[in-house]
Amino acid sequence: MRYLYVGATPEVDREALTAIRERVATEFGAPARDLELFAIEFAFDRGRQQYGSIPVLEMLGRVCPPDALKLLAVTEHDLFIPVLTFVYGHAQLGGRSAVISLARLRQEFYGLAPNREVFLDRAYKEALHEIGHTFGLVHCADRSCAMALGTNIRQIDLKRVAFCASCAAQVQVERRPRESEK
Ligand SMILES: [Zn+2]
Ligand SMILES: [Zn+2]
């Protein structure tokens, strides 16, 4: 049996985490398990006041349980890669590890009134997107597909919490050889 692990750094909203875990388990049809992660202060960049997603992915590679189908880490910290001002998430293409940040997904970040439903929908989309990359999916031209490139919150809001038919089929193909390992 292979599990979809959802790991959280200590500051993460536990209720959001549970909702994300249940949603990805349903979407990918795999049993999910929690994984407690240590704080990611090692990835903190003093100059940028953000956390590097690359060192986080390296750490995930080291702590990934052997029975993991995939490992998705969730953090409240704002993530970046050197060439971009921020990233909503980052994944190893065709690998096992991915990370998403909740930092820019709340309405409050944009000076708006809190909306739990909007926040969770965005988190689900980001979780699907980054896990999709670990299944080898690349960015999709369909703007409503979870695999569409989202560089701002409006683009994320245009997506559905689902893959388009073509991306969904690719996830199924990718999952098949792994299922036979059971
Ligand atoms: Zn992407
Ligand atoms: Zn697609």
The identity of residue 72, as a single letter, is L
Residue with tokens 């988190």: 123
Residues labelled catalytic: 130
Q: ∠ CA(171), CA(175), CA(181), 5° rounding?
A: 175
d(CA 167, CA 57): 23
State the distance from the centre of ligand 2 to the C-alpha of 137, rounded, in angstroms.
Answer: 8
The candidate with the shortest Cα–Cα distance to 124, out of 1, 6, 31, is: 6
Q: Which residues surround ligand 2, an ion (CB under 5 A)?
A: 140, 142, 145, 147, 164, 167
State the distance from the centre of ligand 2 to the C-alpha of 39, rounded, in angstroms.
Answer: 33
Residues 6+ apart with CB under 8 A from 23: 124, 127, 161
d(CA 59, CA 57): 5
pLDDT the model gives residue 174: 84
Q: Which ligand is nearest to the CA of 126?
A: 1
CATH superfamily of 3-179: Collagenase (Catalytic Domain) (3.40.390.10)
State the distance from the centre of ligand 1 to the C-alpha of 179, rounded, in angstroms.
Answer: 25
pLDDT the model gives residue 26: 94
pLDDT in single tens digits along all 182 residues of the chain: 899 999 999 999 999 999 999 999 999 999 999 999 999 999 999 999 999 999 999 999 999 999 999 999 999 999 999 999 999 999 999 999 999 999 999 999 999 999 999 999 999 999 999 999 999 999 999 999 999 999 999 999 999 999 999 999 999 888 875 555 55
Residue with tokens 């909203």: 13
State the distance from the centre of ligand 1 to the C-alpha of 151, rounded, in angstroms.
Answer: 9
Q: What six digits make up the tokens of 162?
A: 């689902």
Q: Which ligand is nearest to the CA of 134?
A: 1
